[in-house]
């Protein structure tokens, strides 16, 4: 069965600290996609990244970076120099290639204090 685990339910940091959000997934598929979404208090999901299972290169986008490790089935997300605007719930998700169904983790609530 497909499963996404985000063990950290809540993280609090002070502005400018770096923070890493963990994501561990389970799947029997050899081809799959992994995603990160941000959900601010307004509720709208904001797409952050999509990574396919064949691309293990780490990615950096501004203050955001992602570490995909197939060997440990992990897809961790790091925010460098966090800002108050980063406060939100972050979801990691796994997608089945054939059905496109998204399986979401339980989310990590990040609070960044000034």
Partner 1 sequence: GAVVSQHPSRVICKSGTSVKIECRSLDFQATTMFWYRQFPKQSLMLMATSNEGSKATYEQGVEKDKFLINHASLTLSTLTVTSAHPEDSSFYICSARLSRGVKNEQYFGPGTRLTVT
Binding site for partner 1 (CB under 8 A): 33, 37, 42-45, 47, 50, 52, 91, 95, 97, 99-107, 109
Pairing between strand 74-79 and 19-21?
Answer: antiparallel
CB of 95 to partner 1, least distance (A): 6
CB of 73 to partner 1, least distance (A): 18
Rounded to an integer, what distance in angstroms lies between the CA atom of residue 69 and that of residue 58?
Answer: 9
Sign of the dihedral defined by the CA atoms of residues 77, 87, 105, 98, in that order = negative
Nearer to partner 1, 43 or 62 (CB): 43
Nearer to partner 1, 33 or 64 (CB): 33
Rounded to an integer, what distance in angstroms lies between the CA atom of residue 24 and that of residue 33?
Answer: 13
Nearer to partner 1, 22 or 109 (CB): 109
DSSP state, residue 106: -
């Amino acid at each position: 069965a497909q499963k996404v685990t985000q063990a950290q339910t809540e993280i609090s940091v002070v502005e400018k600290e770096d923070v890493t959000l963990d994501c561990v997934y389970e799947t029997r598929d050899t081809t799959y996609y992994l995603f990160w979404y941000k959900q601010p208090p307004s509720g709208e999901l904001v797409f952050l990244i999509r990574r396919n299972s064949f691309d293990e290169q780490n990615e950096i986008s501004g203050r955001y970076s992602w570490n995909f490790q197939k060997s440990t089935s992990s897809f961790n997300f790091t925010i460098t120099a966090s800002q108050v605007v980063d406060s939100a719930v972050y979801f990691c998700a796994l997608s089945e290639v054939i059905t496109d169904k998204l399986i979401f983790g339980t989310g990590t609530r990040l609070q960044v204090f000034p």
